Every structure is written in structure tokens, then in C-alpha cells.
Amino acid sequence: MRILKTFFVAVLINPCFDAWSFQSQNDSWYLGKIKLKDSTTLSGRINYQLKYNVLMHKSQGQTKTYTANIVDYFEVQDKDFKKVKRYHSIPVKIRENKVIPEFFEVIIRGNMTLLKREVQVRKRMGKRTVVSTVDRFYYMDRSGFVQNLVPTKKNILKLMEDHAREVNEFMEDLDLNPSKSAHLKQLFIFYNSLSQSSG
């Protein structure tokens, strides 16, 4: 706990500081680039920590840590899925007068934008602890409001209530299950096509 307090104080004082002051909990490094909010672009190896909304950049023998406060977006080459992942810094309202930026992967853009974050989950398996990565989904409406999304049929129809009948028919006709990532994407694409055509 003391280490975390020291880390957050360092972030508040200087959002870009030497990496030795941050103990990484993810040892994976990826080739990628960072676009800062002042338009500076950095290339090299990147280690990102979504839990703390920070990332480390290693290039030419130097390693520095950046927070979501000064990063516009960053992208990494994911070898496992053979694709480039891009994470944007998006302001999230946590209470009435408090907004903080967090990193999200933008999955579907539109009047209703689908966002995703990776979360590490620890489970006890007998005498050992297994760590797995799961996806958590969020949505952002036209006003820029970001909210957690539990992808069930009931929640989707409530979220898309202005086109609930059409979305429900689409879901049933194609036998879509919102809890499946590919199906959830289809539902957002379909809803956005309806909301755009209706103005």
C-alpha cells in the first residue's frame, strides 16, 4: 500500500517520470507507439497497466512512464492475436465534480460507442492461484458519458430502448448472444445504423 501511495503522489507531481519508481505488474512488452496530447509521437517498446492507467515506454536505452493525463492514445502490436490494439485516453466522470482519464480500446464507434478494457482475474485452483485476463465492456453515448456495460439481452434492450423492437428482432433472427464479443459488436453496429438513419 505504501508503494502505491508513493506512486500516485509521483504521478500527481509529474505525469512523466523515471520508470524505476513504478513496480510493473505486467511483464509483457510490445512494439508500438504513443501519441501525446501535445502531438509528440514516441515509438519503441511499450508496457501498459490498464489498472493504473499508465504505460512505460522504452527506447534508446531510456525507460519512462506516462499517465493517461498526457497521452492521447497508444497502440501496440499484439502477437497473440496478430493485430494492432489502440487504446484511447477517454475522460470518465467518477462523481459530480470529478473527471479522470482512463485508457479504453475503442471497439465500435458511433452514436453509441462500444469500449473495452482488459482486467486480470485471480482464481484459486487447489493450492495455486491462476491469473487470467478477461474483457470488461463499456459504452459511451453521444454526450461522452462512459458507463459500465454488463452485456445481457435485458441490459442491451434497455440501453438501446429507442430502437428496442428492431434490436430485439435482429437479435432473435440471427440468434445473437450479447455475452459473446462478436455478437455484441454486431448489435452495436446495427443500432448505430438505425440511430444514424433516424437522425
- What is the reported pLDDT for 5? 41
Cell 459530480, residue located: 96
At 114-153, the pLDDT tens digits run: 999 988 888 888 888 887 888 999 999 888 889 999 999 9
- What is the reported pLDDT for 167? 97
pLDDT band at 159 (very low <50, low <70, confident <90, very high): very high
**Residue 194 falls within a domain, yes or no?**
no
Enclosing domain of residue 15: 2-108
Q: What is the pTM of this model?
A: 0.80
At 66-114, the pLDDT tens digits run: 999 999 999 999 877 678 999 999 999 877 788 899 999 999 999 999 9
d(C-alpha 56, C-alpha 185), whole Å = 30
**Residue 166 falls within a domain, yes or no?**
no
**Residue 177 falls within a domain, yes or no?**
no
Residue 99 is part of a domain; what is its CATH number?
2.30.30
State the angle between helix axes of 181-197 and 164-173 in degrees (0 to 180), rounded to the nearest 10. 140
- What is the reported pLDDT for 198? 67
d(C-alpha 127, C-alpha 76), whole Å = 35
Strand partners, 124: 129
E-strand stretches of the chain: 16-18, 30-36, 41-49, 54-59, 62-67, 71-78, 83-95, 98-108, 113-125, 128-140, 146-149
**Residue 42 falls within a domain, yes or no?**
yes
**Residue 131 falls within a domain, yes or no?**
no
**Residue 97 falls within a domain, yes or no?**
yes
Please list, residue by residue across 72-106, b when 16 or more beta carbons sit within 10 angstroms of its beta carbon and e when fewer do.
bbbbbeeeeeeeebebbbbebeeeeeeeebbbbbe
Radius of gyration of the chain (CA): 19
Domain count, the chain: 1
